[in-house]
Structure 1
Amino acid sequence: MIGNVKTRMALLDTASQQVPVSITDGIEPERNCYVVSMRTAYSGYALEELKRLHRPLLTWPLKVLAKGADRLFQAAKIDKLVLINNWLLSTNLYSPGWDNTDLGALTDMLRREFPDHGIGFRSLNDFSNQGLRERLGGLGFLSIPSRQIYLFDGQAGPQSPFTRHHSTRIDASLLRRSPYTVVTGAELNAAEFERIEHLYNLLYLKKYSSLNPQYSAHWMECGQRDGWLELRALRNVQGRIDGVVGWFTNSVIVSAPVVGYDTSLPQKIGLYRQLTQLSLQEAAKRQQVLNFSAGAADFKRVRGGQPRIEYSLIYVDHLPWGRRFVWKLLSMLLHRIGVPLMRKLKL
């Protein structure tokens, strides 16, 4: 279903809700996807981005540093990890129901069940999850910054601030005049799901990184069928699908784990702009917040995206001293160096 994810899955029943849990033992194949692997998230991505620069004289010291960090992460078994509420998406969402969860009792139970694993929560930010992040911090969870994401607050509906940005208005006009027809996932056939997988791969795997989740057509079809993934596709006048966006939502947040388009077509067509506009309109229609993940920072900023640092919260107090030290060192370095760089460079 997801080609580069190797993990075991379980279901956690908190009494107020049921959520998926991923369990990795640190013995999975190298470069397991970052949705389950902290090693990939923090050293694998760095090594791949350095390769993309194609400037060996400039990047070799950084490459040596990244490889050293990778060996340290491997020795510290940071991929021996249990991740709660892990949907294997780029962004996990937390419903208001988490406020009713006894996190202390949950942490104690997980420590007993997994005495040799770190215990974590991905995808927390202080706009949507400040209370949850503070409660986890109070229980001893380490804060590990991961990336800078962009949020579009649509709670004011059609009057939401991002709707008044010049670039957003131009994109809205582009979508209105577009020769493409917007179709729902329910209207797609099997061949079109294969096309959507190809479009996602063109953008996320070939243009961005092979370490992104490798979602299959079958995974997308099951998500649409079972109701947790809502697809919208752009069909041209000849009947071919040239763009797709897929939303994963709860009662307060819209996210877009699936975006893809035909990157061989002229940029002036504005396929990515149209898909973004569809997502912004959906957030305003629902009066919710669009979490539009990371990447394309300048593009998102000029359309009203508000930057927020995203964190993972990891509990390691029950682990051996050496493994705890590596986690704490990673947390300190990312807070002191990583976060200021993300903000300064507007990543």
Structure 2
Amino acid sequence: MKLLLEEQLLREPARPDDSLARCYVRACASGGLIGNVSTQMALLDTGTQQFPVSITEGNEPDDNCYVVSPQTAYSGYAREELNRLGRPWLTWPLKTLIQGVVHLLRWAKVDKLVQVNNWLLSTNLYPTNWDVTELPAITALLRQTFPKHGFGFRSLNDFSNRDLRQCLETLGYLSIPSRQVYLFDGRAGAQAPFLKHRNTQLDATLLRRSPYEVVPGSALSDADFQRIEHLYNLLYLDKYCTLNPHYSAQWMQRGQQDGWLQMRALRSPEGRIDGALGWFANAALISTPIVGYDTALPQGAGLYRQLTCLCLQEAVERRQVLNFSSGAAEFKRWRGGQPQIEYSLIYVAHLSWGRRWVWIVLSRLLHGIGVPLMRKLKL
């Protein structure tokens, strides 16, 4: 079992049999592919699996993206989410609570953190064939290599990762709830339950009658990728939150070329790309870190509905589970999405008592207040 830092990988020549994880770390190490992510990358090689690893020191920019920064996830991003709730009676006391937590998180250096299997995505997928008996050795390696860092794993939910989560908790990892995601189980193929929902069927009819051509990523030009970056920004940065990852056209293009991202686009009869998505998948799961469309076009065009339909159809064809991330909760529920609380599992037992205490308080606050609110408000 070994950990290779990004500078070590850059000194090695690329080989045709390189794993997707190795290709990804090498791509991200070249820098500038994700505008608001500041982190060092490494590759963890367990002998049976290879994982990208993010390493932050806690002195990165304040607006460092939540995919590497718990400080941003549980303060800045949480405030943005509260603003969208539109419930002043609830948001005011929660904002006050968050403001108090911010200072504790900064004092505890929560961003001094190593995260395993971190693909710098909103949702990281875990291999289904991973032998979790490797976890004690991974924990020992990280504890020895990073004695002053916390370390852990993001994007775990009990539908997809119950055994992994339970094993980590047995080893002393803290469970930190993060958000509620929506899963669409396509393992039954054409008999998948979500296909019976009326809204799902209406979306399929819309896509079938659409004037748009579905274009595979292999047929996209450099200019198309630039357009897709713009469309992603319109949705995820301008409409939702500037703290979302700033994925560049070069990142998407590199992913399509290396095989860790599969792009699809909707091209109009005039030849313009008006919507696009990017899939990230393994043998059992699929996620969509890239979704974008021209938000200036009339809502009646149903671009988001068509893109959602493409995702659901892909899950059915692959007979896989689609993790459709968080956000647009009501929209996803109407199409049969099943909610699951997502967690990070963080190991801090080797840190000072004060830093451990802050992580414990964060865990208890989120389990006691955050999770019930997410479930009650159907976020």
- The verdict on a shared fold, with TM-score over 0.5 as the criterion, is yes
Which residue matches 2:169? 137
User: How big is the shift at 1:72?
Assistant: 1.1
Deviations 1:141-177 (A, max 9, x none): 0000000000000000011001111100000000000
1:26-65 superposed matches below 5 A: 26-49=58-81, 62-65=94-97
Which residue matches 1:267? 299
2:99 corresponds, among 62, 67, 72, to 67
Q: TM-score, length-normalised on structure 1? A: 0.97
1:195 corresponds, among 199, 204, 227, to 227
Once residues 226 and 74 of structure 1 are traced to their aligned partners in structure 2, the CA distance between those partners, rounded to angstroms, is 37
1:277 aligns with 2:309: yes
Q: 1:229 to 1:79 in 2, by over 3 A?
A: same
User: How big is the shift at 1:99?
Assistant: 2.5
Which residue matches 2:160? 128
Once residues 170 and 62 of structure 1 are traced to their aligned partners in structure 2, the CA distance between those partners, rounded to angstroms, is 38
Deviations 1:229-275 (A, max 9, x none): 00000000000000001000000001000000000000011000000
Which residue matches 1:151? 183
Between stretches 183-192 and 60-69, larger displacement belongs to: 60-69
Which residue matches 1:313? 345
Q: Aligned partner of 2:203: which letter? A: D
Q: Aligned partner of 2:295: which letter? A: T
Q: Aligned partner of 1:234: which letter? A: L
Q: 1:13 to 1:258 in 2, by over 3 A?
A: same
User: How big is the shift at 1:67?
Assistant: 2.3
1:101-116 superposed matches below 5 A: 101-116=133-148
Unaligned runs of at least 5 residues, structure 1: none
User: How big is the shift at 1:71?
Assistant: 1.3
Unaligned runs of at least 5 residues, structure 2: 1-32
Once residues 201 and 57 of structure 2 are traced to their aligned partners in structure 1, the CA distance between those partners, rounded to angstroms, is 48
User: How big is the shift at 1:49?
Assistant: 4.0
Once residues 98 and 38 of structure 2 are traced to their aligned partners in structure 1, the CA distance between those partners, rounded to angstroms, is 23
Which residue matches 1:322? 354
Q: 1:286 to 1:57 in 2, by over 3 A?
A: closer
Deviations 1:36-87 (A, max 9, x none): 0001000111333456689999966544432221111000000000000000
User: How big is the shift at 1:278?
Assistant: 0.2
User: How big is the shift at 1:183?
Assistant: 0.1
Contact conserved, 2:132 with 2:164, CA < 8 A, in 1?
A: no
Count of aligned positions = 347
Which residue matches 1:216? 248
Q: 1:266 to 1:29 in 2, by over 3 A?
A: same
Once residues 127 and 83 of structure 2 are traced to their aligned partners in structure 1, the CA distance between those partners, rounded to angstroms, is 38
1:334 aligns with 2:366: yes
Once residues 371 and 103 of structure 2 are traced to their aligned partners in structure 1, the CA distance between those partners, rounded to angstroms, is 23
Which residue matches 1:207? 239
1:97 aligns with 2:129: yes
Q: Aligned partner of 1:228: which letter? A: W
Q: Aligned partner of 1:167: which letter? A: N
Which residue matches 2:53? 21
Once residues 57 and 305 of structure 1 are traced to their aligned partners in structure 2, the CA distance between those partners, rounded to angstroms, is 28
Q: 1:55 to 1:249 in 2, by over 3 A?
A: closer
- Identity over aligned residues, as a percent? 69
Deviations 1:89-145 (A, max 9, x none): 010000123235511111011100000000110000000000000000000000000
Q: 1:274 to 1:53 in 2, by over 3 A?
A: closer
Q: TM-score, length-normalised on structure 2? A: 0.89
